[in-house]
Amino acid sequence: MSKVKIGIVGSRFQADCIAGAVKAIPEEAELVAVASPTKGHAADFAKRHRIPQAFTDYRELLRDPQVEMISITAPNRLHAQIAIDAARAGKHVVCEKPLCMTLEEADAMINACAKAGVLLLYAEELFFAPKYVKAKQMADEGAFGRVHLVKQGEKHSGPHSPWFWDVEQSGGGAVMDLGCHGIAFCWWFLGKPKVKSVYSQMATQVHGDRTQGEDEAITIIEFANGAVGMVESSWNRPGGMDDSIEVFGDKGQTYADMLMGNALPTYSEVGFGYAVEKAASTKGWTYPVFEEHWNYGFPQEMRHFARCVRGKETPISDGATGRVVQEVLYAAYASAGEGRKIALPFRPTGVTKPIDLWKAR
């Protein structure tokens, strides 16, 4: 079958990851277009990744009949509109995390894609990260007995682009940015059980001069099967990206450090080019990672999505997944605002961005 033809919306950080991922799966997919509004950025990106077409308006990309699937790597506040426009243009949609800003947007995205008969795929790469997949395979085999606690942490020194720090554009701080991964991870790892309640402790510990968002949070998710998920999200940990999990059952446990655990413990007095995402320095002791995209699962994720478009696989991460995460995000912010556990289903109305459920209290 022919390769799935992909257009990328956005041309910076995550766009590079997606482009690298698609180039790593040449048997399944190819890049045919990119769109990004800043003059010259789309053209530079297209040149760097050898993409034939570059546009400054994503709606032009959507009019390109070649494009079968788009990957949305634009700021959070734009995800819903771009996804809905893409569905109306008959394109399958891969949407980066978090799915959107509000539950109303999530429903509108899901409905627009269903109505148009296109897939809405939620880009949660932790479902494809090889170490985490191995941990889940062992758990599903019964290696740890009944799993009652799953922890995931994603921590670094803070985002690379100004819009993440502006809650009007991002919808929230470290929980919107990083916690969404951990929420999805715990839910997926435990077999997608119903979420019973959410408790979250949030604070702005270090970056109060830069953001109204939380830069530090611990979120506890209680599932209907009795298991608990614990998600740690931080923008206050220098030294490079730290992404790790812990899994506990009555018959065993496992620990996985996605990046440092797969890196080369390295000492250099003079430094070198690149160690790992968000590492400010390569002097002294560092943890340079190899095959960074593969460790995250980006090529594996895009391979799965391309195969879903061709009907060879069934999506394991879709709009409904993103919606589950969105509801837990709402509950986490409301919990931080009210200082108590929030029971699900939780669907307050009139919310324009999740962080208001914390800050408006």
Ligand X SMILES: NC(=O)c1ccc[n+]([C@@H]2O[C@H](COP(=O)([O-])OP(=O)(O)OC[C@H]3O[C@@H](n4cnc5c(N)ncnc54)[C@H](O)[C@@H]3O)[C@@H](O)[C@H]2O)c1
Cα gap 290→286, rounded to integer Å: 13
- In the complex, the smallest distance separating the C-beta of residue 175 from ligand X, rounded to whole angstroms, is 12
Cα gap 17→11, rounded to integer Å: 10
Among candidates 254, 98, 260, which has minimal Cα distance to 183?
98
- In the complex, the smallest distance separating the C-beta of residue 45 from ligand X, rounded to whole angstroms, is 8
The nearer residue to ligand X, 188 or 248, going by C-beta atoms, is 188
Cα gap 361→357, rounded to integer Å: 7
Residues at the interface with ligand X (CB under 6 A):
9-15, 35-38, 41, 58, 73-76, 78, 96-97, 123, 125, 161, 163
First vs last Cα of the chain: how many Å apart? 54
| Contact between residue 259 and residue 292 where contact means Cβ atoms under 8 Å apart | yes
- In the complex, the smallest distance separating the C-beta of residue 298 from ligand X, rounded to whole angstroms, is 8
Among candidates 258, 255, 233, which has minimal Cα distance to 149?
255
The nearer residue to ligand X, 58 or 287, going by C-beta atoms, is 58
- In the complex, the smallest distance separating the C-beta of residue 24 from ligand X, rounded to whole angstroms, is 16
| Contact between residue 167 and residue 211 where contact means Cβ atoms under 8 Å apart | yes
Provide the token pair at 50. Answer: 């050898």
Residues in the chain, how many?
Answer: 361
- In the complex, the smallest distance separating the C-beta of residue 38 from ligand X, rounded to whole angstroms, is 5
The nearer residue to ligand X, 157 or 197, going by C-beta atoms, is 157
Between vectors from CA 271 to CA 265 and to CA 276, what angle results, nearest 5°?
55
Beta strands in 139-190 (DSSP E): 147-155
- CA-atom Rg of the chain in angstroms: 20
The nearer residue to ligand X, 121 or 147, going by C-beta atoms, is 121
Q: Give me the helix-helix angle, 41-49 and 13-23, nearest 10°.
A: 20
C-alpha dihedral (201, 332, 170, 192), degrees to nearest 10: 130
The nearer residue to ligand X, 58 or 223, going by C-beta atoms, is 58
The nearer residue to ligand X, 94 or 147, going by C-beta atoms, is 94
- In the complex, the smallest distance separating the C-beta of residue 244 from ligand X, rounded to whole angstroms, is 15
The nearer residue to ligand X, 100 or 309, going by C-beta atoms, is 100
Cα gap 249→150, rounded to integer Å: 9
- In the complex, the smallest distance separating the C-beta of residue 296 from ligand X, rounded to whole angstroms, is 7
The nearer residue to ligand X, 136 or 181, going by C-beta atoms, is 181
- In the complex, the smallest distance separating the C-beta of residue 302 from ligand X, rounded to whole angstroms, is 11
With H, G, I as helix, E, B as strand and everything else as coil, classify residue 285: strand
